[in-house]
Amino acid sequence: MSRVQRLVAAIDLHRSYTLGSEVISALRGVNMSVFPGQFVAVVGRSGSGKTTLLNIVGGLDRPSSGQILFEERDMASLDEHELTQIRRHKIGFVFQSFGLLPLLSAFENVELPQRIAGVGVRERRARAREVLEMVGLWPRARHRPYELSGGEQQRVAIARAIVNRPPLLLADEPTGELDSVNARAIFGLFKQMVQDQGISVVAATHDSTLLAMADEVLEIRDGALVQHESRGQRFRT
Ligand code: ADP
Ligand code: MG
């Protein structure tokens, strides 16, 4: 039986925070895998541990115990330079508040991660156009964030997150500031990117109406996964 190679595996992840004499257990033994071309939704109420989990998977934070394997490499064994390379080339991040630079146009915002990665100007421009077309915003490329709606800004942020072709996109409550129509459009875009580009998406949300679009739904409650509902056998063999 062949087995699809995991992109990411979380193994018995724990993360606690100490505040004075109080210890808060934000993650209490999380195990999960993300496969290439899979759209995983992590659903849970505020304070359940979604942000903590995504930050650890993305190498922005380290677990108190447990492991993250990224392409089967233990992230704890990587030095700062290797972690930076992974965050720059292998992982795209999307946040609730979009995080676009206000003085730059949509095009310039999307181009920026490629400048940082040292991509040449011709390729930068071609690639920025390609991803802005992908999210349906090429006609608005010259506009600054304040001239765009929330849904449009988030689509620019998604274009920026995938411009360096990372295999993994992490989205922390990407629809938290959007109305239901735009929220559905963003999750629909993730689904389409997974299907067309083979990228993997892990998106945290507290909105259960969006879950039907994901391949897999992980429910987190008080720092532990309580439900592991799989849609189909695509990633099981
Ligand atoms: P969610 O994203 O699902 O709302 P979080 O991962 O942000 O949940 O938080 C999980 C728990 O960890 C919460 O109880 C929160 O208060 C706590 N927490 C998160 N970050 C910190 C921190 N830096 N210091 C102390 N407690 C924290
Ligand atoms: Mg959060």
Cα 170 to middle of ligand 2, angstroms: 12
DSSP 111-165: HHHHHHTT--HHHHHHHHHHHHHHTT-GGGTT--GGGS-HHHHHHHHHHHHHTT-
Tell whether ligand 1 has an atom less than 6 A from the beta carbon of residue 24.
yes
**Which of 19, 30, 52, when mutated, tests ligand 1's pocket best, judged by the most ligand atoms within 8 Å of its CB?**
52
**In contact, 187 and 213? CB cutoff 8 Å:** yes
Per-residue pLDDT reduced to its tens digit, 190-227:
999 999 999 999 999 999 899 999 999 999 999 999 95
Per-residue pLDDT reduced to its tens digit, 12-42:
999 999 999 999 999 999 999 999 999 999 9
Q: Where are the domains of the chain?
A: 1-90+166-237, 100-164
What pLDDT, on a 0 to 100 scale, did the predictor assign at position 132?
Answer: 96
What pLDDT, on a 0 to 100 scale, did the predictor assign at position 88?
Answer: 87
Q: How far is CA 97 from the centre of its chain?
A: 14
Confidence (pTM): 0.93
Architecture of the 1-90+166-237 domain: 3-Layer(aba) Sandwich (3.40)
Tell whether ligand 1 has an atom less than 6 A from the beta carbon of residue 52.
yes
Q: Cα(236)–Cα(233) distance, rounded to whole angstroms?
A: 5
Of the listed ranges 65-69, 81-85, 169-173, the least confidently predicted one is 81-85
Q: How far is CA 103 from the centre of its chain?
A: 25
Closest CA to 48 of 21, 30, 72, 66: 30
